[in-house]
């Protein structure tokens, strides 16, 4: 029997915490030893100099070597401490996901590229305590943006099936998922100028890449070095090298400004590029079998270019660029035209690998998104992979469907069928009984299904569809839009989408309408709601509508196309007074009770027969 996910996370978090503490303690001790070695080596060397004792100078030099070795070892210990700190945090986050502890669970999301649509808002797809928050493992901006795109845009059936295979494989590979997340977090620490850097990789060649200028920047330093060697060897009595030094200075003054922007793209990139290089090597060499994962690996080793090799090469160039900020820079620049040589190396890299940088980083994003869905599958092994049906009548058929954002021990599962065209699900029930939560559960699981992930259901079969919702309509004082007008506009968008889908031959529109048109008086609401629903049914859209208006089912045309379901409450007389309990179970038929007055009574509002004068 597979081990429970919470036990797995707790055990791994404890192991990584122990390793973290071990390396942290050793790191602290070596920091003290490093300081001691430096002080002792300096004191011994100074004493040897003062007493003219060469053996003490040699001893001081040996102490300096020990100090440098301790510096290297200290950095190694720091890297190990950081590694196990991150791995501990990743597994601690796993426990938070299982508990749905939204306040403690980090919310990572990319910089906003566009305003999310109404459906994303209605279904809690993005933001705090959302589906995006539950799938919070991507660390890089590209991974977060990729996952967000998958949640907002349904994938074709063939893509969904290939993602499911990859997700299923990654669900079992927790070590691989943790290693991907670890390296992505290290890479994410340098993401501030990500877009600027990737734009530089594909920008046109700089002025310094012109053949004539390149010949000068190579030839002049070469001749300078040869002239210095020739004079030192006594081959010439004249300081010919001064002419080439003057030429180097002139070239620096004339073209040095053109090196500033390219160098700025390379400064402080070594650690970032090193992390990406290790990540791409891991992705390219991981022992995977799912076709989608193999396809991604093929993107990283296409032709003669290996992504990790090229990124490590760029990392080395970035290291060379750092010398242009060192104390030795004037010597390097005027003697070797150092910045020009670095730019030449960078230009050579851009010609070969620059156009591939975007696709390589896109692979990282896809891998992170697949790993996020894999973590969801690992966390909820009872959740099913949906079946995407092609052909036949569009519909949603689910067994044991629940709300993905609820803690598993609080989630109530229900069977549901929406469709085929010509029908809709009409849900009635009292306040707080679960109608809105049920609609969001349906919508969220459709989103997960069409992203390629598992769903909170024992079984789910659905056709390709586009969700259209009206649940959290908001008025706008700034725009002079009332609640009712805002709701009408949203319904108009849904009807337009259904008409466009009918005219184009698909995909099917699935509408989810919560308390339709309750922003106006009851008489007009009933008439308008009936007309909207009839029209959507006639357009061959499928959907579900929740309402308090039990008379909707009295309309002949509505009744003939409606499948009825309801939620109910239980009134309990207790010692402290009247309480209301809900089991959130969907039952067939029309609701037989209402609870508005009971709720008023529970919260202490007057409910006498003579009414309540608010004035």
Q: What is the mean pLDDT of residues 353-374?
A: 93
User: pLDDT grade, residue 517 (50/70/90)?
Assistant: confident
Residue 613 confidence (pLDDT) above 50: no
Q: What is the mean pLDDT of residues 273-283?
A: 90
Q: Is residue 168 within 8 Å of 377, Cβ to Cβ?
A: yes
User: pLDDT grade, residue 485 (50/70/90)?
Assistant: confident
Q: Shortest CA distance to 364 belongs to which of 437, 433, 483, 276?
A: 276
What is the dihedral sign for C-alpha 435, 441, 447, 450?
A: negative
Q: Is residue 559 within 8 Å of 551, Cβ to Cβ?
A: no
- Most confidently modeled range among 24-33, 110-119, 238-247: 24-33
Residue 421 confidence (pLDDT) above 70: yes
Residue 269 confidence (pLDDT) above 90: no
pLDDT for residue 377? 97
User: Across the beta sheet with 414-418, what order do the strands follow?
Assistant: 387-389, 459-463, 396-401, 414-418
Residue 382 confidence (pLDDT) above 80: yes
Percent of the chain with pLDDT over 90: 50
Question: Of 7-16, 344-353, 446-455, which range is least confident?
Answer: 344-353
User: pLDDT grade, residue 462 (50/70/90)?
Assistant: very high
Residue 208 DSSP symbol: G
How far apart are the C-alpha atoms of 442 and 414, rounded to whole Å? 10
Domain boundaries along the sequence of the chain: 1-99, 206-367, 387-565
User: Across the beta sheet with 587-588, what order do the strands follow?
Assistant: 465-470, 508-514, 542-547, 424-429, 562-567, 587-588
pLDDT for residue 612? 45
How far apart are the C-alpha atoms of 167 and 449, rounded to whole Å? 12
How far apart are the C-alpha atoms of 336 and 334, rounded to whole Å? 6
pLDDT for residue 486? 79
What tokens appear for 42 in the block? 């300096």
Locus of tokens 């022992």: 287
Residue 167 confidence (pLDDT) above 60: yes
Q: Shortest CA distance to 514 belongs to which of 589, 563, 588, 442?
A: 442
How far apart are the C-alpha atoms of 222 and 217, rounded to whole Å? 9
Measure CA 469 to chain center: 24
pLDDT for residue 130? 95
What tokens appear for 201 in the block? 């990789």
Query: What CATH class does 387-565 carry?
Result: alpha beta
Strand-pairing partners, residue 420, are: none
pLDDT for residue 598? 56
Residue 213 confidence (pLDDT) above 60: yes
Q: Is residue 279 within 8 Å of 286, Cβ to Cβ?
A: no
Mean pLDDT of all residues belonging to the chain: 87
pLDDT for 244-262, tens place per residue?
A: 899 989 988 888 888 887 7
Say whether 610 sits in a helix, a strand or coil.
coil
Q: Is residue 404 within 8 Å of 444, Cβ to Cβ?
A: yes
Residue 35 confidence (pLDDT) above 80: yes
Cis peptide leading into 507, omega within 30 of 0? Answer: yes
pLDDT for residue 113? 66
pLDDT for residue 368? 96
Q: What is the mean pLDDT of residues 384-391?
A: 93
pLDDT for residue 596? 54
Question: Of 77-86, 446-455, 555-564, which range is least confident?
Answer: 555-564
> Residue 523 class from Cβ within 10 Å (0-12 exposed, 13-18 middle, 19+ buried)?
exposed
Q: What is the mean pLDDT of residues 434-458?
A: 95
Residue 425 DSSP symbol: E
Residue 476 confidence (pLDDT) above 80: no
pLDDT for 169-210, tens place per residue?
A: 999 999 999 999 999 998 876 555 566 777 777 878 777 778
- Per the model's pLDDT, the better-predicted residue between 601 and 568 turns out to be 568
How far apart are the C-alpha atoms of 493 and 506, rounded to whole Å? 16
pLDDT for residue 448? 97
Residue 17 confidence (pLDDT) above 50: yes
pLDDT for residue 384? 97
- The packing angle between helices 174-188 and 338-379, to 10°, is 140
- Per the model's pLDDT, the better-predicted residue between 181 and 109 turns out to be 181
How far apart are the C-alpha atoms of 284 and 210, rounded to whole Å? 35
């Amino acid at each position: 029997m597979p081990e429970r996910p919470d036990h797995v996370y707790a055990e791994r978090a404890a192991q990584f915490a122990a390793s973290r503490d071990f390396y942290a303690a050793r790191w602290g001790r070596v920091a003290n030893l490093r300081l001691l070695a430096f002080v002792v080596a300096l004191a011994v060397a100074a004493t040897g100099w003062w007493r003219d004792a060469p053996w003490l100078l040699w001893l001081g030099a040996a102490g300096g070597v020990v100090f440098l070795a301790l510096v290297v070892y200290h950095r190694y210990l720091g890297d190990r401490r950081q590694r196990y700190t991150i791995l501990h945090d990743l597994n601690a986050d796993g426990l938070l996901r299982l508990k749905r502890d939204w306040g403690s669970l980090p919310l990572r999301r990319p910089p906003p590229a566009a305003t999310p649509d109404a459906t994303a808002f209605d279904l809690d797809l993005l933001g705090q305590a959302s589906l995006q928050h539950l799938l919070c493992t991507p660390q890089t901006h590209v991974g977060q943006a990729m996952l967000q795109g998958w949640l907002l845009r349904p994938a074709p059936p063939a893509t969904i099936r290939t993602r499911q295979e990859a997700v299923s494989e990654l669900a079992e590979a927790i070590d691989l998922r943790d290693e991907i997340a670890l390296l992505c977090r290290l890479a994410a620490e340098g993401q501030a100028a990500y877009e600027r850097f990737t734009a530089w990789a594909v920008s046109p060649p700089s002025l310094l890449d012109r053949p004539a200028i390149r010949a000068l920047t190579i030839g002049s330093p070469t001749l300078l070095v040869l002239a210095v060697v020739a004079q030192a060897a006594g081959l010439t009595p004249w300081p010919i090298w001064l002419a080439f030094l003057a030429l180097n200075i002139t070239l620096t003054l004339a073209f040095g400004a053109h090196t500033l922007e390219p160098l700025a793209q390379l400064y402080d990139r070594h650690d970032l590029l090193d992390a990406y290089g290790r990540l791409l090597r891991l992705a390219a060499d991981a022992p995977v079998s799912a076709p989608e994962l193999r396809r991604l690996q093929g993107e990283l080793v296409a032709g003669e270019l290996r992504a990790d090799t090229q990124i490590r090469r760029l990392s080395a160039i970035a290291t060379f660029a750092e010398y242009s900020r060192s104390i030795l820079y004037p010597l390097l620049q005027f003697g070797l035209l150092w910045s020009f040589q670095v730019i030449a190396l960078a230009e050579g890299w851009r010609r070969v690998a620059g156009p591939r940088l975007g696709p390589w980083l896109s692979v990282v994003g896809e891998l992170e998104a697949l790993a996020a869905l894999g973590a969801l599958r690992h966390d909820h092994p009872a959740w099913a992979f949906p079946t995407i049906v092609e052909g036949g009548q569009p519909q949603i058929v689910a067994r044991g469907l629940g709300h993905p954002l609820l803690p598993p021990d609080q989630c109530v599962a229900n069977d549901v069928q929406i469709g085929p065209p010509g029908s809709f699900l009409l849900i009635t029930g009292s306040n707080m009984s679960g109608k809105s939560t049920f609609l969001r559960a349906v919508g969220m699981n459709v989103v997960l299904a069409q992203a390629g992930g598992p769903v909170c259901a024992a079984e789910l079969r659905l056709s390709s569809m586009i969700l259209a919702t009206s649940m959290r309509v908001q008025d706008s004082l700034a725009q002079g839009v009332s609640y009712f007008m805002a709701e009408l506009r949203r319904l108009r968008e849904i009807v337009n989408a259904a008409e466009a889908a009918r005219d184009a031959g698909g995909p099917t529109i699935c509408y989810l309408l919560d308390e339709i048109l309750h922003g106006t008086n009851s008489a007009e609401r009933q008439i308008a709601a009936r007309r909207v629903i009839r029209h959507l049914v006639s357009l061959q859209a499928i959907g579900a509508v929740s309402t308090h208006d039990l008379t909707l089912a009295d309309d002949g045309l509505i009744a003939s196309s409606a499948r009825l379901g309801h939620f109910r409450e239980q009134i309990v007389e207790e010692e402290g007074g009247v309480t209301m309990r809900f089991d959130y179970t969907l039952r067939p038929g029309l609701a037989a009770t209402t609870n508005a007055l009971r709720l008023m009574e529970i919260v202490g509002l007057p409910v006498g027969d003579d009414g309540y004068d608010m004035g």
